[in-house]
A and B are shown apart, each in its own frame.
Chain A
Amino acid sequence: MLPQALDAYVETAREVGNASSLHGPGRLARKHIEESRERIAAALGARPSEVIFTSGGTESDNLAVKGIYWARRRPRVLASSIEHHAVLDAVRWLEDHEEATVDWLPVDSDGRLELASVNLDGGDVALITVMWANNEVGTIQPIAELAALAAAAGVPLHTDAIQAVGHVPVDFAASGVSAMSVTGHKLGGPYGVGALLLGRDVASTPLLHGGGQERDVRSGTLDVPGVVAFAVAVEHVVKEQQEEAARLTLLRDELIARVLEAVPEAALNGPATPRLPGNAHFSFPGCEGDALLLLLDAQQIAVSTGSACNAGVAQPSHVLLAMGADPVAARSSLRFTLGHTSTPEDIDALVAALPAAVDRARRAGTF
């Protein structure tokens, strides 16, 4: 957590209070919540009433996808094929259990949405959901163009902006989207707190019924210290966005150049630009991403492969498959993420460790 977010968290946690009660401490808690709402709204270009606090990205995505689908009572959903599982599986669930028909929108080999595939005709579309920036390969999606298409067709556009906020400029109102997911732990805030920015005129059926908090869209007593720390973090990363993005882009480009130099067979996945500043993603032919992860982990270098299934077994990334990679190539990939604590020394350490790790991983072969 960012130090200022942590401080705000601890300070608030010392104050007792329940944001839903009417007595003094309750009023204080509510004041914290509403101030946080205003700060987040201001930082992200929304109105305060459009900020709905949730338990994080997964809930925000589910609330947007299922809530808008149910509220609109139309059968079709358009979703990109590279969404995070929080969107992907929510859409699949609607397909399997709620008779939704889904247009899975294709992407090109850089992971960028094929705008030509978006067909919003017919008046039967409940919503379209396309992430702002992809969490695996860092591709930034053409949200403005999509929003224009959606507005023309009168279809709400939801975007998972969890990877975008703090890394690229994000303005809810200016972007034209109807709903936008944000989460605390991806931007230096606490775990388990997030928000769905939901346009005032966009209806969403609640997933959680109860005390009627959060515009009656999301009931439940809020985590006051978490919300306050989340707001502090959002405000901070948005304020620092430009400078931090410039710093990370330099660092990231250095990382890409030096990795390609150290391991010439490696291939960069995703576009050189526009791309999330802290994201670098490679395939290492002949290696299992998992084996590389183990070897680098042993040297205190934390990297990620795709996602793991329930049992912890690595799956080839659906994002890379959608970009046209074959399963073997998909399994050979690794993501390096740079953040606010990353330094040039981290890149030195990575480049020092990587060639030997790739060698070993190649000898270990594939499963």
Chain B
Amino acid sequence: MRVLAAMSGGVDSAVAAARAVDAGLDVTGVHLALSRNAQSHRTGARGCCTIEDSRDARRAADVLGIPFYVWDMADRFHEDVIDNFVAEYAAGRTPNPCLRCNEKIKFSAVLDRAVALGFDAVVTGHHARLLDGLLTRSVDAAKDQSYVLAVLTREQLDRSIFPLGDSTKELVRAEAHERGLAGVADKPDSHDICFIADGDTQKFLRQRLGDAKGDIVDDSTGEVLGQHDGAFGYTIGQRKGLALTRPAPDGRPRYVLSITPVNNTVRVGSAEALDVSTVEGDRVVWTGGERPQGPIECVVQVRAHGKELPAVVTLRGDRLVAQLRGPERGIASGQAIVVYRGDTVLGSATITAAA
């Protein structure tokens, strides 16, 4: 079997490629150049796709003795991930760019190209398992990435190989050392959003969307409590940084309840008002067997690294409705709701509303 290993220059993808080689696959390494103007080196744990990362990936491929190429996906990444990220914020939603990148770049543009070039599958260093074709959490719960893979369709999963899902991150690093992948073995994990190198999402959005002053409104009274510089600066459930001079009558903290881009309004209210028990989503993907006809008992996860919430989920065409067993706070539109049974991903949808 001929496979294409996506190699970021990090430890996970290097070990994943190594394991694919050990498994007897015919492996070709590819580094995706995603940045239009790559920086020469990383600063700290943030950012990716620097020239240094590209070299680290090449060095790892050389250690493994596999062919290695760089694919320029910068334009696709800009359009499908970065522009979308900005547009989603502008529309008052909270996107997850990693998930989007998996959906549109790694398991779409890259996979399609790989298949066209005669490869059978793509190998990545994601921490997740495929058990009998079913997407399943990694054994390392803290590093599990099934959430950001849950948008993948059956066809995409069938052409994916995740060699790391049954190992902890610690083990992966130790293995990298043993394999002589010293250059990547101790590289820090990447955090945050790879294309926002300094980690300042607000600044990044402000540069692209500009200041747009609007009102901060009390959700229950409709009273204008203050001004903001751009609704994109707020996330549902946010408490800090509201800069409201007038305290709430009951003296309790106020939280962002909703963002309405049409009139550029941020609505705030009490913690209780954040509680929701119904979550709705669209763009349903169902990979965990037959689509259920009626309601099913399951758990859902509504943000990356979020906790599992018991729920009853019903599918209606391209829509999903989850009735949570208990109230949950700060559920943002644009994030994914991922449905699990045990460690197995059944499906996912993009959150459109929560009440």
Residues in A275-308 with C-beta less than 8 Å from chain B: 290-291, 293-295, 297-298, 308
Residues in B315-352 with C-beta less than 8 Å from chain A: none
CA of A297 to CA of B70, assembled, Å: 14
Given the known inter-chain contacts A311-B51, A314-B70, please indicate yes or no for A295 contacting B31, CB distance below 8 A.
no
How many chain B residues sit at the interface, stated as a range, is 20 to 34
Contact of A363 (CB < 8 Å), options: B33, B74, B116: B116
Contact of B28 (CB < 8 Å), options: A290, A294, A308, A363: A294
**A-side contacts of B51, CB under 8 Å:** 310-311
CA of A367 to CA of B112, assembled, Å: 11
CA of A365 to CA of B117, assembled, Å: 10
Chain A residue at smallest Cβ distance from B31: A312
Chain B at the A interface: SS class:
mixed
Chain A residue at smallest Cβ distance from B113: A364
CA of A295 to CA of B54, assembled, Å: 21
Q: Does B38 contact A (CB under 8 A)?
A: yes
Residues in B53-79 with C-beta less than 8 Å from chain A: 54, 58, 67, 69-76
CB <8 Å contact, B67 and A367: no
**B-side contacts of A290, CB under 8 Å:** 69, 71
CA of A297 to CA of B28, assembled, Å: 11
Given the known inter-chain contacts A298-B28, A313-B70, please indicate yes or no for A367 contacting B54, CB distance below 8 A.
no
CB <8 Å contact, B70 and A367: no
Nearest Cβ in chain B — how far from A284, in angstroms? 14
**B-side contacts of A311, CB under 8 Å:** 33, 38, 49-51, 54, 70
CA of A312 to CA of B74, assembled, Å: 13
**A-side contacts of B33, CB under 8 Å:** 311-313
**B-side contacts of A294, CB under 8 Å:** 28, 67, 69, 117
**B-side contacts of A200, CB under 8 Å:** none
Q: Does B118 contact A (CB under 8 A)?
A: yes
Interface centre among B40, B58, B116 (most CB of A within 10 A): B116
Nearest Cβ in chain B — how far from A229, in angstroms? 26
Nearest Cβ in chain A — how far from B123, in angstroms? 16
Nearest Cβ in chain B — how far from A309, in angstroms? 8
Q: Does A361 contact B (CB under 8 A)?
A: yes
Interface centre among A290, A295, A297, A311 (most CB of B within 10 A): A311
CB <8 Å contact, B38 and A310: yes
Residues in B257-272 with C-beta less than 8 Å from chain A: none
Contact of B117 (CB < 8 Å), options: A308, A314, A360: A360
Residues in B102-161 with C-beta less than 8 Å from chain A: 113, 116-118
CB <8 Å contact, A367 and B72: yes
CA of A298 to CA of B40, assembled, Å: 30
CA of A10 to CA of B347, assembled, Å: 65
**B-side contacts of A314, CB under 8 Å:** 70, 72
CB <8 Å contact, A312 and B58: yes
Nearest Cβ in chain A — how far from B86, in angstroms? 22
Given the known inter-chain contacts A313-B33, A367-B75, please indicate yes or no for A308 contacting B70, CB distance below 8 A.
yes
**A-side contacts of B113, CB under 8 Å:** 291, 364-365
Q: B9-42 toward A: CB 8 Å interface, digit per residue (1/0)?
A: 0000000000000000000100101000010100
Q: A7-36 toward B: CB 8 Å interface, digit per residue (1/0)?
A: 000000000000000000000000000000
**B-side contacts of A364, CB under 8 Å:** 113, 116-117
CA of A310 to CA of B58, assembled, Å: 12
**B-side contacts of A312, CB under 8 Å:** 31, 33, 54, 58, 69-70
**B-side contacts of A361, CB under 8 Å:** 117
CA of A360 to CA of B75, assembled, Å: 22
CA of A302 to CA of B107, assembled, Å: 29
Q: A308-328 toward B: CB 8 Å interface, digit per residue (1/0)?
A: 101111100000000000000
**B-side contacts of A365, CB under 8 Å:** 113, 116
CA of A363 to CA of B114, assembled, Å: 10
Nearest Cβ in chain B — how far from A296, in angstroms? 11
CB <8 Å contact, A298 and B54: no
Nearest Cβ in chain B — how far from A20, in angstroms? 35
CA of A240 to CA of B146, assembled, Å: 63
Nearest Cβ in chain B — how far from A259, in angstroms? 20
**B-side contacts of A310, CB under 8 Å:** 38, 40, 51
Nearest Cβ in chain B — how far from A303, in angstroms? 13
Chain B residue at smallest Cβ distance from A293: B69
Nearest Cβ in chain B — how far from A293, in angstroms? 8
CB <8 Å contact, B38 and A360: no
CB <8 Å contact, B69 and A367: no
**A-side contacts of B72, CB under 8 Å:** 313-314, 367
Add 17 more A-B contacts to A291-B113, A312-B31 (CB < 8 A). A290-B69, A294-B67, A294-B69, A294-B117, A308-B70, A310-B51, A311-B33, A311-B49, A311-B51, A314-B72, A360-B117, A360-B118, A363-B116, A364-B116, A365-B116, A367-B72, A367-B73
Can you name 10 A-B residue pairings with CB atoms under 8 Å? Answer: A290-B71, A298-B67, A310-B38, A311-B33, A311-B49, A312-B54, A312-B58, A313-B33, A313-B70, A361-B117
* 10 A-B pairs closest in CB distance: A312-B70, A364-B116, A363-B116, A313-B72, A311-B38, A311-B54, A313-B33, A311-B51, A310-B51, A364-B113
